[in-house]
Structure 1
């Protein structure tokens, strides 16, 4: 199971990188074409669509590697066991929020299904809005893995103390 999780992480990171490159190319091309008096009307909306997905994939990639900002100067003063309990509590709060985002993100995507991108008629805004529940699902999986890892660490420390 861990191997599938790691492969999923590599795919996420790759997709986020490709989307970032596409965003830069689209925005640059739109700027150049606008300067040449021949604007590409769909470039910026498409870049916004890519941005919505890239941020969610990149957020999970950063979260997997513990690269998101955190304030832990107080928590670091506690014993390792207490730190693990605090982390598990924090992960449970994060998981509850992500479940909220999944549920209401799906509802929002459903509401947005008839809205179209400006300059991209026929392309539903729902596809950009779906980045919220999909990204939240990926973040939830990462959060569950982190909870399992912390519980495993607690069990390992308990066994070490008993032996």
Structure 2
């Protein structure tokens, strides 16, 4: 199971990075085409779709690597027991919110399946909206893994680390 999760994490990083590079290249291509008086409006639309996916994938990567912003000015002064309780309250709120996003994201994708993406025939808007439930599900998986690490007493595994 660990190997499958590691494979998923590596794949997620590759896809997020690829989407980020593709976004930049598409915007550059669109700008150069506009400069040459031959605008390619679809480049911005496709870059927007890739941006939605890259945002959610990158958020999961940052959450997994403890690279999200954290304010611990008050909590680090509390006794360890209270810190642990606050972390579990925080995790419970995160799990509830992400579970809601998964459910509502699937619903949103379902109802938007008929709508075409930016008027492009044959391309459903669901390709963009599916980034929400997929990203939320990945974030939920990461959160559950963090909770399990806390329960095993691996609090240091959930602390901020330097990512190279």
Asked if 2 retains the 8 angstrom alpha-carbon contact of 1:102 and 1:132, the reply is yes
Q: State which structure, 1 or 2, has the greater radius of gyration over its C-alpha atoms.
A: 1
Q: Which residue number in structure 2 is paired with residue 83 of structure 1?
A: 83
Alignment of 1:44-59 (within 5 A): 44-59=44-59
Structure 1 stretches of 4+ with a deviation exceeding 6 A read none
Q: Which residue number in structure 1 is paired with residue 19 of structure 2?
A: 19
Aligned equivalents of 1:127, 1:95: Cα separation in 2: 24
The 3 A distance-change label for structure 1 pair 10 and 150 is same
Superposed CA RMSD: 1.6
After superposition, the C-alpha distances for 1:5-42 in whole angstroms (9 at most, x for unaligned) are 22211211111000000000000000100110111121
Q: Which residue number in structure 2 is paired with residue 159 of structure 1?
A: none
Q: Is 1:38 the counterpart of 2:38 in the alignment? A: yes
Residue 83 of structure 1 deviates from its aligned partner by 1.8
* Runs of at least 5 residues in structure 1 that lack an aligned partner in the other structure: 155-163
- Using the TM superposition, name which of 137-146 and 33-42 deviates more: 33-42
SS at match of 1:123: coil
The 3 A distance-change label for structure 1 pair 111 and 68 is same
Q: Going by fraction, where is strand more abundant, 1 or 2? A: 1
Q: Going by fraction, where is helix more abundant, 1 or 2? A: 1
The 3 A distance-change label for structure 1 pair 59 and 153 is same
Q: Is 1:106 the counterpart of 2:129 in the alignment? A: no
* Runs of at least 5 residues in structure 2 that lack an aligned partner in the other structure: 155-164
Aligned equivalents of 2:73, 2:4: Cα separation in 1: 34
Aligned equivalents of 1:87, 1:2: Cα separation in 2: 24
Asked if 2 retains the 8 angstrom alpha-carbon contact of 1:112 and 1:124, the reply is yes
SS at match of 2:16: helix
Q: Could you state the TM-score of these two structures normalised by the residue count of structure 1?
A: 0.89
After superposition, the C-alpha distances for 1:120-163 in whole angstroms (9 at most, x for unaligned) are 32211111000000100000000000000111118xxxxxxxxx
Q: Which residue number in structure 1 is paired with residue 116 of structure 2?
A: 116
Q: Could you state the TM-score of these two structures normalised by the residue count of structure 2?
A: 0.89
Aligned equivalents of 1:128, 1:96: Cα separation in 2: 23
The 3 A distance-change label for structure 1 pair 7 and 80 is farther
